[in-house]
Every structure is written in C-alpha cells, then in structure tokens.
Amino acid sequence: MIRTAEPSDVPLILDLIRELADYEKAPQEAVATLEQLHEVLFGANPAVFGLIAEDDGTGEPVGFALWFRNFSTWRGTHGVYLEDLYVRPSARGGGHGKALLTELARICVRRGYSRMEWSVLDWNEPSIGFYRSIGAVPMDGWSVFRLTDDALSALGAE
C-alpha cells in the first residue's frame, strides 16, 4: 500500500500537489515545476522525501506524503516535518492516510527521531479529527509565521 517515491513518480506527485492545492482552496499557490520537484527529491543532494499510497487491489496511486528532516534543539534530535499529506477523495476512508502516517512514524522510530510535526488548516475538521484519533495533539499557543515573495526579498536585501 505504501512505497517510497521514485523519479518516475514526479509527474504524479506534481498532479497530487495541485489536487491538494485545489482542496485547500489555493490552486494559484501551487507553482512548483517538475524540474524543481525532481531536483529536491532525487537530485545530487535530496532534501525532501516522498511516499506514495497505492490501492491494494488495483495498484493505482491514491495519495502521497512529502516530508523533510527538521531538528529539535530542546530534544537534541532530528524529527520529521510532514509538508504535505493528501489522499484522493475517491480513496478516503480506505486507510491510506493512516498508512502514510504509520510509515512516517516507523521512519522516525528506526532513525531515532523524536517527533513528527505538520500543519493543518483550521477549517479542515475531517483531518483534525483524524489526526486527534491517532494521538496527535495541536500545538496550542503557537502560531505559524511565513515570509514569502516581496517581504522575503525585502528582508533578504537588507
């Protein structure tokens, strides 16, 4: 059901990223290219890693997870930051999302990583409920900040 992404999966991953952007009501923000994804996933210095969920019966790809290592100064160990997790609507409820998260948890355990983190949109109640059901807890009291585009360029030019 879950396998490691391969270079031939890059077009599929890009399609799934665009589907996720549509679901999250931000299709205009999904501007990654095939070349960019190939480089970060499979270039000389891969910094992002991927998993593909496939339907057990048909072998059809139905979802994906992209992640990268982060680091906790407080714990002194690496962790996983789950950038994207997406399962196509037609395959939801089939255990693919849990299988993706389970495989990421296994990676953490095997490698001695101390945590796995991700963000979820406040309005995405189905996902929030699912995450709580597997024991994940929200980081109340923390806000995500982001610099992009003109603000990033302006600060970087100082």
Q: Which residue in the list 81, 86, 113, 131 is annotated as catalytic? A: 131
Query: What pLDDT is stored for residue 146 in this prediction?
Result: 86
The rounded average pLDDT for each run of 10 residues, N- to C-terminus, in the chain (158 residues) is: 97 98 96 98 97 96 98 96 97 96 97 96 93 94 89 93
Query: What pLDDT is stored for residue 143 in this prediction?
Result: 85
Query: In angstroms, what is the C-alpha Rg of the chain?
Result: 16
Instruction: Provide the Cα torsion 129, 55, 4, 26; round to 10°.
Output: -50
For residue 6, what are its two tokens? Answer: 């391969």
pTM assigned to the model? 0.93
Helices (runs of H) and strands (runs of E) counted in the chain: 5, 5
Query: What pLDDT is stored for residue 53 in this prediction?
Result: 98
Q: How many CA atoms lie within 13 A of 40 on its CB side?
A: 16
CB 79 within 8 A of CB 116: yes
Query: What pLDDT is stored for residue 108 in this prediction?
Result: 97
Query: What pLDDT is stored for residue 77 in this prediction?
Result: 97
Query: What pLDDT is stored for residue 144 in this prediction?
Result: 87
Residues pairing with 53 in the sheet: 2, 63
Q: Based on the residue annotation, tell me whether 23 is a catalytic residue of this protein.
A: no
